Amino acid sequence: METVLLILLAIPFLVLKYLFSNHETLAEKDRRRFAEGLELVEERQLDTALAYFTLMAQQFPKSATVHHLKGHCNFGLQNYYSALYDLNVSLSLDNTNAEAYLLKGQCHFHLQEFNPAFLEFDKAVWHTRAQHPDALRWRGLARLTQGQTEQARQDFEKALAMGDENAAFHLNTQFTRNGVRLRDSRNGPH
Q: Which alpha helices (DSSP H) does the chain contain, by range?
A: 2-20, 26-33, 35-42, 46-59, 64-76, 80-93, 98-110, 114-127, 133-145, 149-161, 165-174
In this structure, the answer to whether residues 63 and 148 fall within a common structural domain is no
Instruction: Kindly state whether residues 76 and 112 are assigned to the same domain.
Output: no
Residue that terminates a domain, selected from 95, 125, 145: 95
- 3-state DSSP assignment of residue 1: coil
- Evaluate if residue 23 carries a pLDDT over 90: no
Q: Does residue 1 sit in the same domain as residue 71? A: yes
Instruction: Clarify whether residues 19 and 32 are in a common domain.
Output: yes
Statement: residue 5 has pLDDT above 80 = no
The pLDDT, as a whole number, for residue 186 is 39
Assess whether 185 and 140 both reside in one domain: yes
- The mean per-residue pLDDT over the stretch 39-52 comes to 96
Give yes or no: residues 85 and 130 share one domain: no
Task: State the Cα–Cα distance between residues 95 and 10, nearest whole angstrom.
Answer: 36
Report the 10 Å Cβ neighbour count for 120. 27
Residues 6 or more apart in contact with residue 138 via CB below 8 angstroms: 102, 105, 106, 109, 117, 121, 124
**CA–CA separation, 26 vs 109, rounded Å?**
30
* Res. 189: pLDDT tops 50: no
Residue 66 above 60 pLDDT? yes
- Angle at the Cα of 152 from the Cα atoms of 149 and 154, rounded to 5 degrees: 115
What pLDDT, on a 0 to 100 scale, did the predictor assign at position 63? Answer: 92
Specify the range with the lowest mean pLDDT, choosing from 11-15, 70-74, 140-144. 11-15
Q: How many domains does the chain have?
A: 2
Q: The domain containing residue 158 runs over which residues?
A: 100-190
Q: Find residue 177's DSSP bridge partners.
A: 180
95, 123, 150 — which closes off a domain?
Answer: 95
Last residue of a domain, one of 57, 77, 95: 95
Comparing CA positions, the residue from 82, 79, 146, 136 lying closest to residue 116 is 146
Q: Residue 84 carries which side chain, given as an amino acid letter?
A: L
Radius of gyration of the chain from Cα atoms?
A: 22
Q: Both 188 and 113 in a single domain?
A: yes
User: Residue 79 is part of a domain; what is its CATH number?
Assistant: 1.25.40.10
pLDDT at 190 over 60: no
Give the pLDDT confidence score for residue 176 in this predicted structure.
67
Query: In this structure, are 50 and 121 located in the same domain?
Result: no
